[in-house]
Amino acid sequence: MGKAVLLCFLALFASWGASVVKAEDDYEYYTWTVTYGTAYPLGVPQQVILINGQFPGPKIECVTNENIVLNLINKLDQPFLLTW
């Protein structure tokens, strides 16, 4: 009798646990605007490439197996290659 109650409780707990699993979107969306600007990375003014007005660029918040969708707006006067 005790084993049957325990087994029933475990089955109920397992089915409850499966029903509260939260599935999230595995995509992260970013829009970056790339421009030139002046920054002082070594204490002297230098022309740098800014992403959304930031140097260094913004932090990407993601985990393993997430997909990143990046909409890049190039406002430079030359092509821009981004690799990772």
CATH number of the domain that 37 lies in? Answer: 2.60.40.420
Give residue 72's pLDDT: 95
| Cα 69 → chain centroid | 9
Per-residue pLDDT tens digits for 24-74 = 678 999 999 999 999 999 999 999 999 999 999 999 888 888 999 999 999
pTM for the model stands at 0.64
For residue 37, the enclosing domain spans: 26-79
Beta-ladder partners of 20: none
pLDDT band at 84; cut points 50, 70, 90: confident
Give residue 23's pLDDT: 63
- Residue 19 CA to residue 63 CA, distance in Å, equals 23
In a domain, 12, yes or no: no
Give residue 37's pLDDT: 97
| Tally of domains in the chain | 1
